[in-house]
Structure 1
Amino acid sequence: MSSQIPLEHVPHPYEVNNKPFYIHKTTQDVQIPTGKLAPLRTLDELKAAVQTTEIYILPIPAKSVNSVLNSLRELLPESHPLQHLRRLVKPSFLPVSVAEKIPPIATTKSAVMYMLVCPTEAIALPGLQSFLSALPVFTEDGAEGPQISIIPVPSCQPISAAQAQEWSEKYWPTVYKRGNPYGPHPAIVENAANKLGRAGEYIQLARSAGAAVADLDIGEPFGCVIVNPETGEVVAAAGDGRCKGDKEWGNPLNHAVMRAVAMVAQKRLETGEEVMPNNPCRPLTELERVYFEAKTTTTTTTITPFELVETAETAENEENGENGEGYLCHNMHVYLSHEPCVMCAMALLHSRVGVVVFGQKVPKTGALMAEGEDGEGTGYGLFWRRELNWKFLCWQWVDELHEKIKEGISV
């Protein structure tokens, strides 16, 4: 079987890193499609967005706020657990949905504030009612008893100013503290995205790598490109290789990601010895050969812009001075034509890549989207999970070039 792409399939030359590659014959224009980077949300971010808890609220005269707060601290000595929610709110700032559900204020003789008392799980309603009814503010002549209401509120911190605003309008005035305990810090995501100016080029190269193997009936039209972020060099480009045509059995593990990582390993070995003797790493197309034979820097010195989850393994590695040098693709950037499967996503994690950008979502078998089936994903979110000892930043590249995925195919 020839490893050359038929000439009629490569009429449009294009260059990345001063090396030629070719746009697939079905692409009408060699121009890189205009697109945008859409950051993926983590599994914890999605859970935080929908988890609510119930709280007690009540109106009190503004002049009595401090005395009531001091009394509540005696009853509930633990600190206020919902620090992202305003403790005191003027009636005019209540969300419309809340104002419509709670009873009207019994008296308007003085200015009134609504107070967030505590979560309902902290104390039973009869006990709270009894305690508040005994306070001077509710026992003075002509004073009404405490008007306690129960409303749902978000139990987790917001991950953005936009989400805080949304919750303020829907649940209760919410504060965003410019942090994200459920995923990468927004500043890290923004800074990293600003450095991905050539994402469209690399995604198009990954698509071309997939198209090349598909034209030769070697594999499905899925491609992977691994880039050194310090130099912009393409270290490896690989298409899917699990078919190998009608006359030769393929390896079902030869997904594009697995082959690209193997190419990096082979280039780093530099001894002529096979990384995988039973499954030799060989370029299957001319496009793959260009980058496989190119002299590129296969290691990085870049420090990951977010902390690792501290484990015995990471602590031992740091103590031994490895600092990522023993990992095949440490902090490399990976560009994929399609969302990878669980096997490939875990291979990227174990190779300790820094960034992954993929083109097309794969709802049935993709492993990076944290949304479940209703959100067009498997719900794994493997790029950022608390229980894993490595994380990487992840985006989808969104443009007009999308294809229908064959049913049952893992990328």
Structure 2
Amino acid sequence: MSDSMKEVVEALDPVSRHIIPPDIALGTLVPLKTILELRDNLSLGLAYVTRAPNKVTNDVVNIARALAGDDAAKNLPHLRRCVKPADIPPHLKTQFMNEGNGRQVHLGKSNWLYIVLGPKDEMSYDELVKGLANIDDIRDDIFVGTIPVPLLAPTSQVQANMWSQQFWQTVYRKNNPLGPHPSTISRTEAVVSRDASVWMTLAHQIAKKSQKAGYGEPIGAVIVKRTIPGKNESGKQTALKEGARESDFSNGEGAGADGDNCNSRPEADEGVNGIAHGAAAEVPDGIVQDVKQPDASNLEAQAQDSTKSDPEAKETTQIVAIAADARWHQQEKTGRIGNPMAHAALRAISMVAQKLVRAEDRPKSEQKMVDFEAFQDKPLLSDEQLVFDEDHPCPDGYLCHELELYMTHEPCTMCAMAILHSRMGRIVFRHRMPLTGGMSSEDRGYDMCGASGACGEGLCGGGQGLGLHWRKELNWTLLGWEWESDSIESLPVDAHLHA
């Protein structure tokens, strides 16, 4: 065990230190992609471009804006409005040099610029040429070309660089219009990664114990509470009363009134090649979807600001619930479904709820309603009992608000929705379940189970992943990661199993 991991273990509560295995398997966190990132990340359209001397570029831009309007989306704010001839993609340079006075524009120290006018569908070609003819310096050689361009903003600097080579100079504004804000992902991942290996190793341990005892499949779940000093811990109030409307936040893509203009000075490269430098680059796009959902980025930022005032305060993490799969407990093991109400995630969430009820000193009901208890949410293993006997670290919170869930396998659709409804803040899982999982967004291909003849012809796989960890149309979103590790044994299950 490394020194850094020893430091993490020593900071845990006594119960966690007692039940964690001596050897902690290390792993890497990989953020989950949203359905929008995977399906809408490249949507192409056609745009008009022209070229003009440096000194009249603002006149050209004003003509384009008059035809296309001031709508930021129509003006393609993620594309550089004005680009030097030397900076356009090579295939466009070859094409444009052979049209009109292209060779003169590209030779020597040219004072010409290429200008993106706007989407082809939003302006008339005849009106565009008519407007450009009013500019003295280009009326004798009006050039209007059509190029394919990405209609949506890039979600990373790597993607922006790739599009700059393939289509047009593209700007990455450190936001993500198709998913969680990058600053939120990186900041949260830096915190979670410090002890994620501990909780994932513990989830594997409880999963194997349950399988050995014959209670269920080798699937385990661990829920922890991360306490940040100075942060408001009243989860019930934050989840149900506080919130912000989507209109209260800047989109992060829009250009200002002056940001759309090209600088007429040739030596001002940033002014010439860039647009909308005043845009709110650090404001998340679409993270808040309705009045019930707090903005994750703002909450994290407030927490960081509050911790600065107390240098002695330290972040603490405490285990709240641990549960294994118990689908075969008190049930004959026939078929491959078992008791769906005894999945590991559901059992863990129910144990959290029971702790909250216990904290309110409600009278216990010993009456047994039915002979068979479907939920199986009472502790079955000794590790489950030890954690269950401990008090909830934040008993006034709303169920699982802002808690962290670590699972050996990707939860099924039923469990994924339960995780959302419980207001879980983060989820980390190891084994992806392409056929049955509800968190991943990747398309489900056919014949993914690899079972020879087990599925029947054309019945295995197909369709699109649900990506329930971050969906803009839902009233709660949580951050998700896949945990990759080669230092711990795998826990294989049937590909059709609902975890």
Normalization by structure 1: what TM-score? 0.80
Partner of 2:427 in structure 1? 356
| Alignment match of 2:342 (pick from 219, 244, 254) | 254
Q: Residue 90 of structure 1 is aligned with which of 84, 99, 106?
A: 84
User: 1:381 is matched with which residue?
Assistant: 467
Structure 1 pair 405–55 and aligned structure 2 pair: CA distance change class (3 A): farther
The change in CA–CA distance for 1:248 and 1:115 in structure 2 (over 3 A counts) is: closer
Equivalent runs, 1:68-107 vs 2, <5 Å: 68-79=60-71, 81-102=75-96, 104-107=98-101
Which of 261, 272, 281 is matched with 2:364 structurally? Answer: 272
Deviations 1:23-62 (A, max 9, x none): 5xxxxxx522221111112222334422222211122232
Query: Closer, same or farther in 2 for the Cα pair 1:178/1:274, shift >3 Å?
Result: farther
1:266–1:274 contact (8 Å) kept in structure 2: no
Do 1:233 and 1:296's aligned partners in 2 also have CA atoms closer than 8 Å? no
> In structure 1, what is the equivalent of residue 36 of structure 2?
44
Q: Using the alignment, how far apart are the partners of 2:173 and 2:91 within structure 1?
A: 25
- Per-residue deviation at 1:262? 0.8
The question of 1:195 aligning with 2:191 is answered yes
Map of 1:145 onto structure 2? 142
SS in 1 for 2:38: helix
The secondary structure found in structure 2 opposite 1:226 is strand
Q: What's the RMSD between the two structures over aligned residues?
A: 2.8
Matches for 1:3-402 after TM superposition, within 5 Å: 17-19=13-15, 20-21=18-19, 30-79=22-71, 81-102=75-96, 104-107=98-101, 108=104, 111-133=111-133, 135-139=135-139, 143-146=140-143, 148-196=144-192, 197-230=194-227, 231-244=316-329, 247=332, 251-270=339-358, 271-273=363-365, 278-279=373-374, 281-299=377-395, 325=397, 327-373=398-444, 378-400=464-486, 401=488, 402=490
Deviations 1:182-210 (A, max 9, x none): 32222222221122111001011111111
Aligned structure 1 segments of 4 or more residues deviating by more than 6 angstroms: none
Distance 1:74 1:193, change over 3 A: closer
TM-score of the aligned structures, taking structure 2 as reference length: 0.66
What CA distance in whole angstroms lies between the structure 2 residues aligned with 1:275 and 1:58? 80
Q: Kindly indicate whether the alpha-carbon contact (under 8 Å) linking 2:211 and 2:217 is maintained by their aligned counterparts in 1.
A: yes
2:416–2:438 contact (8 Å) kept in structure 1:
yes
Contiguous gaps of at least 5 residues in structure 1: 1-13, 24-29, 301-324
Contact 1:37 1:193 in 2 (8 A): yes
CA offsets, 1:93-124, max 9 Å, x none?
A: 11234334545353216532111011011024
| 1:364–1:378 CA contact under 8 A, matched in 2 | no
* Letter of the 1:221 counterpart: P
Instruction: Say whether the 8 Å CA contact 2:402–2:425 is kept in structure 1.
Output: yes
**Is the contact made by 1:366 and 1:378 (CA closer than 8 Å) also made in structure 2?**
no
Aligned in 2, Cα 1:378/1:410: closer, same or farther, shift over 3 Å?
farther
Amino acid across the alignment from 2:470:
W
Distance in 2 between residues matched to 1:256 and 1:276, nearest whole Å: 23
SS of 1:121's equivalent? helix
Letter in 1 for 2:82: L
Unpaired segments ≥5 residues, structure 2: 1-8, 228-315, 449-462
Q: Distance in 2 between matches of 1:90 and 1:335?
A: 50
Give the superposition deviation at 1:156.
Answer: 1.5
How many angstroms apart in 1 are the aligned matches of 2:141 and 2:198? 69
Shift of 1:90: 0.7
Q: Give the share of equivalent positions with the same residue, in percent.
A: 34
Do the aligned partners of residues 246 and 68 (structure 1) sit closer, same or farther apart at CA in structure 2, a change above 3 Å counting?
Answer: closer
What does the per-residue CA deviation read over 1:233-268, in whole Å, with 9 as the maximum and x for residues that have no partner? 111111111112665895222110000011111122
Q: Is the 8 A contact 1:369 1:379 kept in 2?
A: yes
Cα displacement (A) at 1:174: 1.4
CA distance in 2, matches of 1:101, 1:363: 44
Q: CA deviation at 1:160?
A: 2.6
Distance 1:145 1:34, change over 3 A: same
- 2-structure distance, mates of 1:365, 1:244: 22
Shift of 1:372: 1.6
Contact between 1:363 and 1:378, CA under 8 Å: does it hold in 2? no
Deviation at 1:164, TM superposition (A): 2.1
